[in-house]
Amino acid sequence: MNHKMLLKFAIKAGEIMLKSGAETYRVEDTIIRILSVYNLDVVEAFVTPTGIFATIDDETIEMITFTKRIKNRSIRLDKVSLVNDLSRQFVAGKISLKDAIKKLDEIDKTPPYPSYIFIGATAFASTFSTAVFGGNIKDCIISLFIGIALGSVQTFFNKTNTSRFFIDLIGGGLIGFLAILFTNFIPSANLDQIIIGCIMPLVPGVAITNAVRDTIEGDLLSGISKGVEAFFVAVSIATGVGIILKIWFMLKQGGFL
Amino acid sequence: MILQIIGALFASFFFGILFNVSKKELLYCGFIGGFGWFIYLNFLTLTNSIVFSSFLGTLGVSILSRIFAKIRKVPVTIFLISGIIPLVPGAGMYRTMYAMLEKNFEDSSFYGIQTLQIAGVIAIAIIFTSSFPFISKNKGV
C-alpha cells in the first residue's frame, strides 16, 4: 500500500475535475471516495473553487497533508465525466492504482475540440439563440457572422491567458459594434434580437448552475464565490455592450451620423 | 413555435460543444434543451408569465437531465448546463442594461427585477429536483 501515491492520485483527480468546471461538492466527494479505498482512520478533504486540501492519517503511517492551489480554469465537461468514470472504476476495484494514475495522465492530456470547431460552434450557437429569441432569418445570418468573429477573438485571447472578465468585456463590445454596424446597413434587421442571441455564448451558465448546485449540497463558500463570478461575468458583458451602445446613442444625438 | 424549439435544440447542441461535452452526449444535450424550451413556450402561451414558465421549463430540464444522467452514467451537470442555457435570462440582462442607457429607470428596474426573479426560480427548480430523493441518492450522479 502506497499512501502517498494514493493521496497524489486523489488530489490530481480532484484538480482535473475542479479545473474543468465540476461542482465543488463533486470534487470533494470524489477525493474522499478514492481515499476511503484503504480504510484509513482519518480521511478529510476540503475543496474551494481555488484550492484543494486533503489529509489522511492512520496508526500505521505518518499523517500526510497535501495542498493544491488551482489557478486557471476552463470548461471541459468531457474531462469531468472521464475522471468521474475512472474514480468509480478505481473505487470498485476494477483497476489498480498504477493503471489508474496512468489513465488519469491520459485524461489530463485529452485535447479539446479544435479551434475551428469551437469557432463554428460559437457561430451556430449565436445563430440558433437568435432564432430562439424571435429573430428573423436576416438576424440569424448576421448572428452567424458575429459568432464567427466572437469565436475567433475568444480563441485568440484564450491562448494568451487573459482574464475571463476582460475577454467578456471585449466580446461584449465586439458584439455591440458589429450588431450596430450590420443593422445600419441591412434594413429590417433587429438590433435587440441579434445582441441577445450573440451574448448567449458568453453568458455564465456554468457558474450559475454550479453556484446553485454547490449551495444545495451545503458547500456555501463555493456557492457564494461562483455566484460572484457569475455576477461579474454578467456585468462585464453588459458593460462591453453598453459602452458601445452609449457611444452610438451619443453620436446619433450629436448629429454626427 | 416549432422553429423556436428546433432552434433551442440546435443551440443547446452547439453550447455542448462550447463546453467540450464529449460527442456521445451532445445529442442528448440538444434534446434536453429543446424539451425545456418546448415546456417554457407552451406555458408562456398558456399563462403569459415568463417567471412561472421559466420555473416549469427548468423543472423539465433538470428532471430529464437526472434521468439521462442515470441512463448514460455521466455526471448530471453535463446535461443540466447545456440544457438550461436557453432559459438563462440573457435577454433580461440586455433589456435591463438597454433601459438604463436610455435613462429609462422605470423599465430598467422592471426588467432587472424580472431577471432576478427568473434567475431565482431557475435556482429553485434545480434545487427542487436535485434534492428530491426519488431516484436514490446514488452519489456521483
- Residue B33 pLDDT grade (very low, low, confident, very high; cuts 50, 70, 90): very high
Residue A48 backbone dihedrals phi, psi, to 5 degrees: -120, 165
Distance CA B91, CA B98 (A): 10
- Computed over every residue of chain A, the mean pLDDT equals 91
Nearest partner of B13 among A117, A137, A14, judged by Cα: A117
Residue B2 has pLDDT above 70, yes or no: yes
Q: What was the pLDDT predicted at A159?
A: 85
3-state SS, residue B21: coil
In the predicted model, what is the mean pLDDT of residues A226-241? 91
Beta carbons of A80 and B19 less than 8 Å apart: no
Beta carbons of A85 and B73 less than 8 Å apart: yes
| Percentage of chain A exceeding pLDDT 70 | 98
Residue A1 has pLDDT above 80, yes or no: no
Beta carbons of B22 and A78 less than 8 Å apart: yes
Q: What was the pLDDT predicted at B61?
A: 94
Q: Cα angle vertex A216, ends A215, A221, to 5°?
A: 20
Select the residue from B40, B59, B65, B85 to test the A interface by mutation, using most A Cβ atoms within 10 A. Answer: B85
Beta carbons of B20 and A77 less than 8 Å apart: yes
Q: How far is B116 from chain A (nearest CA, A)?
A: 11
**What is this model's ipTM?**
0.87
Q: What is the grid cell recorded at A241?
A: 455592450
The CA–CA distances, whole Å, from A210 to A122, A191, A218 equal: 22, 31, 12
In the predicted model, what is the mean pLDDT of residues B63-90? 89
Distance CA A145, CA A178 (A): 9
Of A79, A117, A241, the CB nearest to B97: A241
Q: What was the pLDDT predicted at B141?
A: 44
Which is more confidently placed, B90 or A34?
A34
- Residue A257 pLDDT grade (very low, low, confident, very high; cuts 50, 70, 90): low
Taken as a whole, chain A contains a residue count of: 257
Beta carbons of A80 and B94 less than 8 Å apart: no
Q: What was the pLDDT predicted at A162?
A: 83
Q: How far is B60 from chain A (nearest CA, A)?
A: 15
In the predicted model, what is the mean pLDDT of residues A90-99? 92
Q: What is the grid cell recorded at B100?
A: 438604463
**A129-142: per-residue pLDDT in tens?**
999 988 889 999 99
Q: What was the pLDDT predicted at B126?
A: 86
- Residue A253 pLDDT grade (very low, low, confident, very high; cuts 50, 70, 90): confident
Q: How far apart are the first and last CA of chain B?
A: 33
- Residue B140 pLDDT grade (very low, low, confident, very high; cuts 50, 70, 90): very low
